[in-house]
Structures are given as structure tokens and as C-alpha cells.
Amino acid sequence: MLIQAPPRNSTQNESLELDTINDRISDGLLSSPILDTPPISPSSWFRRVEDSPIFQKVFRYPSPASLKIRPTSWLDGLRGVAAFEVYVFHAFSCWIHITSAWLSDGNSTYIFQFPFIRTFFASGGAAVSLFFSISGYVLTQKCLRFIRDASPHQVYPSVKSSMFRRGFRLYLPPIIVTFAEMIATRFGFAPPLNFTFVPEPTSWGQFLDWASQTNRWMNPIMHIFHGIFRHEYEAVVWTIPFEFYGSFVCYFLLLALAKVPQNRVRMGSIAIFAILSMGIGYWSLFCFATGMLIADFHLSQEAQETSLPPNKTPSSTPTHQRLWWLLFLVAFYIAGLPALWDNEAYSRPKPGFETLLNLTPPGFSLSTQAGSRFWWSLSGTVLMLSISQLAPLKRFFETPFCQYLGKISFSLYLIHQFSLVLFGLAIRAFLRGLFGVDDLSGEGPAFWISFMTWFVLFTGMLFVVAGQVERWVDAPTVRFSKWLEGRVFGFLQQK
């Protein structure tokens, strides 16, 4: 069984960085103090639902009263919202064609495809870049603080611990999920987004095929010579190796710059590395480096605030705020740039995006989506930077619901396509029959009623599954990596 998308749908397989900010805090990678400011929460019926013990148990929803908002909690919420957007992109693509721009052809007439509006529904590529930038920030913030506090000797044990645990943290959950998808294959469920998949004749053959795919997906040598490798059983985990390599680049940069006392020299070096990475087409490393640079920039702002007299607060003029809002809106618009996934997509007119296409550096290859990746990477970086300077947006991402999305973001990413195959398509088929929807043309009230009914039902069920995956797969992985680190390093110290 395959995900049946409308004709000409070029759904992109996007994912996001896969580690919650709260996990990184519990791992000791963020050291910011807890603020006394309570999270913003609606005072409506939804607040009563949030406080329900049954709701919290079924969905793994955190009690609003138990939330402790840290200065970096907005990053967790930002990642959660972007994770949800990636799911929305794939879910909508099961019903309507939203990949191309509005009026780029006769079939592209949905309001969801209009510039700015389409960012809510078709910006999975920008979400990937945004999560890489968040990783660069989170993985380096504590060590950058050590460097600024003239304690570079504390950088090395922190980086050592992070390097040991990073691989287990990133690879174990996808291995477990893809193994489950291999088992599901024997029961007649084809892997999601794999339209050419052919099952093996035996269960043992299926296992060996999964093992071979997993080896190629994790093997760095394969990536050096063959580039992006999409796992046959779960295509969206292609970003996990990029996440792993980018993390280690951040660690190497920390080790190389730990004893550079001049903040401007260190920040300038990171900026040069980011520019060079983008210049040679390594957009993912650009995102990690710019995330690291933004973390250093925020630490400099923090130092300036603490140096002010007690009765004085840092100034933020209306002009500065308007500039940050303008940057946010521009980056939000760019995030909706359609994917340049082949020459046909590039040549078709894209109302509202022609200028970006003309400004794309010629060195970026269309065959690897790098033309789009260039703009998505810039968009993700600027979105994170501008949001960090806009208090209303930060407060929004600190709300209990956004924090919940951040908590399940890794699990939501890993299982949303798998869930579509397991039960999402069956629910869609039932509702189409119930409302008499014969095709996926997107026309008529019956189509939209059936679609919205499906979206609400399936999203609720998906949140339940994601919460349980977070409980039984994601969280145990964090504990296991910590336990193993203690055992290995304890044994080595005894020697």
C-alpha cells in the first residue's frame, strides 16, 4: 500500500533535527537559569482540557503548572511547531497538490499555494534548515559560555561527553522505527514515500534487506561517495546523518576555538566558516555554523545586559523592533519557496518567487535541490535570529502546547509517515466513501468536509502514537546513552 497523492505531486521528504531542547538541558548542555515567568496559556476550554489528567496521560501532554520556562524554552517550542508543519506538509499532500506555487500552472489554484500562506503548509525544506540551525545553537551554547567565562578547560570534557552520546541519541530511535516498518512490510504495508518498493520473498530476506539499508544509511563512506542516501524503509530519515556530521563539525569548531580569548575573532572565524560552507554547497554546515554564531551573539547580549546598572534596562527602540519584524516577514516569505527539484520545476513560472529564482547563485545544482536549499537555509537562520529578538513570538513558543510539540517533535517526525501508511490512508478511504468523494481534485464542499474531518481525527491519533513513542523509544534512548557513557568512562578511569 502506498500513499496516494494527487497527480504530479512532488512531495519532498523533509525532516528536522531530532533532539528536544529539554533533553539537552537535562544532559547539561544548557546552563541558563529557570525563570519565574509562568508560560502563557489560554484561559478557555482548552486550558481545562490541558489540565485533564486523562488528556495528559493519553497524549503525554505536560501539565501547564509543571512547566518551567527557561530562556531557551522558546527554541524547544519553535522546533515543535516546525515539526508539526512538516507533518502538515505531508498530510496535506495526501489530499491536494500544494508543492508548486500558486498559478504556476492550471492546476495550482489553491489558496494554500499563495505566497506567505503556503509557508504554513509547504515549508518543510525551510524547517530542515531551521532545525539544523537550532542544533548548532543548542550543542554549543554551554561551551561558548565556558569560553566567554575564561574557562576553556571545561570545554573538553563537555565536548567529550556530547561526542560519545550523540550517535546513540540520533541513530537508535530511527533504527527501532525502521525495524518496525520492516516487520509491517511482512503484513502488507509498503514503506511510506517509497513508490518502487518490492518486498522480499521471505522474512529473513526482508531482514537482510533492512540491515543492508541501515548499514548504507549509517555508513559515512557511502555518504562521501554517493551523497544523500534515502533509507528504503523510511525516506525522511535522510537528514539524520547530516545531523550527526553537522554536530561533530560544531564539536570540532569548539575544540579549535576554545582557547581563542577574543570574542570577535572567534565569532568572525565561525562566520567565515559558515560563508565558505555555503559557497561550496554545504548548506547544512552553514546552518549549524550560523546557529553556533547566533548562540555566541546571544551570550554577548546577555553580557551587555548584566553589565548595566541595576536600575537600567537594555534599550530596544521601536525602529529596531520594526526591523526585526521586517526580517521575520521576509524570512517567513522565503520559507515558502517551492522546491526546485528538477529542471521542469525550475523552468515553470512561480508567481511571487521569480526574483528569488533569478538571484539564486549559479553554482548551486538543481538536481540536488541546492537552489532551494540556499534560500531555505538563509530563511531558517534569519527566522531563528529574528524570533529571538521579538518578545511576543518568543512568548508564543513558550506556551504549553508549543512546549508539548517540542517534547514529541523527534517522535512526531519519525512516525508520522509510518502512521499514514498504517491507519491514515484507511481512514481517508473510509471518509471518502462516507462523503462520496470520488477523486482528490479538491473541489466541492464534500471534499473539504471529508478532508478536515480526516485531518482532525488522524492528527489526534498521531499525537497519541507520538507520545507513546517518546515514552518508550525516545526517552529510554536518552537514558541509555547516559548510562552507557557512565559505564564506559568509569571503566576507563579505573584503568
- Average pLDDT of the chain to the nearest whole number: 85
The pLDDT score that the predictor gives to residue 8 is 40
Q: Residues of the chain with pLDDT > 90: what percent?
A: 59
Residue 310's CB is within 10 A of a number of other CB atoms, namely 5
Tens of pLDDT, residue by residue over 456-474, are 999 999 999 999 999 999 9
Residue 2 belongs to a domain: no
Enter the C-alpha cell of residue 296.
Answer: 555566541
Residue 13 within a domain: no
Count of structural domains, the chain: 1
d(CA 346, CA 229): 23
Who wins on pLDDT, 183 or 37? 183
Q: What is the dihedral of CA 284, 20, 85, 175, to 10 degrees?
A: 70
Do residues 129 and 381 touch, judged by C-beta distance below 8 A? yes
DSSP track, 130-196:
HHHHHHHHHHHHHHHHHHHTT-GGGHHHHHHHHHHHHHHHHHHHHHHHHHHHHHHHTTT-PPTT-TT
**Lowest mean per-residue pLDDT among 32-36, 133-137, 163-167:** 32-36
Cα–Cα distance for residue pair 249/247, rounded to 1 Å: 5
Cell of 324: 526585526
Please tell me the distance from the alpha carbon of residue 369 to that of residue 340, in angstroms, as a whole number.
5
11: nearest Cα among 117, 125, 128: 125
Copy the grid coordinates of residue 409.
517533535
Does the pLDDT value for residue 227 go beyond 70? no
Q: Does 302 fall in a domain?
A: yes
The answer, yes or no, to whether residue 316 has pLDDT greater than 70, is no
Who contacts 214 (Cβ-Cβ below 8 Å, separation ≥6)?
175, 178, 231
Residue 198 lies in a domain: yes
| Residues 6+ away with beta carbon under 8 Å from 163 | 248, 251
Cell numbers placing 247: 554536530
Average pLDDT over residues 141-168: 95
The pLDDT assigned to 455 comes to 96
Looking at per-residue pLDDT, the higher value among 354 and 268 belongs to 268
69 near 34, Cβ under 8 Å?
yes
Task: Transcribe 385-448 into DSSP letters.
Answer: HHHHT-HHHHHHHTSHHHHHHHHTHHHHHHHHHHHIIIIIHHHHHHHHHHHT--S-S--SHHHH
- pLDDT higher than threshold 50 for residue 367: no
Q: Name the DSSP class of 473.
A: I
Query: Domain for residue 30, yes or no?
Result: yes
Span 126-146, pLDDT tens digits: 999 999 999 999 999 999 999
* 184 against 225, higher pLDDT: 184
Place of cell 501532554: 61
| pLDDT more than 70, % of the chain | 84
- Which amino acid is residue 356, in one-letter code? L
Name the residue with higher pLDDT: 22 or 297. Answer: 297
pTM given for the model: 0.87
- Packing angle between helix 203-218 and helix 155-185, nearest 10 degrees? 150
Least confident of 22-36, 175-189, 212-226, 283-297: 22-36
DSSP string, 187-224: TT-PPTT-TT----SSHHHHHHHHHHHHHHHH-HHHHH
How long is the chain?
A: 495
Pair 79, 135: CB distance under 8 Å: no
| SS3 assignment, position 91 | helix
Q: What is the pLDDT at residue 290?
A: 97
Report residue 32's pLDDT band, with 50, 70 and 90 as the boundaries.
very low
pLDDT band at 480 (very low <50, low <70, confident <90, very high): very high
Residue 389 lies in a domain: yes
Average pLDDT over residues 54-72: 85
Q: Judge whether 12 lies within some domain.
A: no
- Taking the C-alpha atoms of residue 176 and residue 172, their distance in angstroms, rounded to an integer, is 6
Domain that holds residue 366: 21-306+318-494
pLDDT tens readout for residues 77-130: 999 999 999 999 999 988 988 888 887 777 777 888 888 999 999 898 899 999
- Mean pLDDT check: name the lowest of 53-57, 398-402, 434-438: 53-57
Element (H, E) at 83: helix 73-93
Question: For residue 116, what is the DSSP state?
Answer: T
**Contact assessment for residue 329 and residue 79, using Cβ atoms and an 8 Å cutoff:** no
Domain assignment of residue 358, yes or no: yes
Report the alpha-carbon distance of residue 62 to residue 78 in Å, rounded.
17
User: What is the C-alpha to C-alpha distance for residues 251 and 263, in angstroms, rounded to an integer?
Assistant: 18
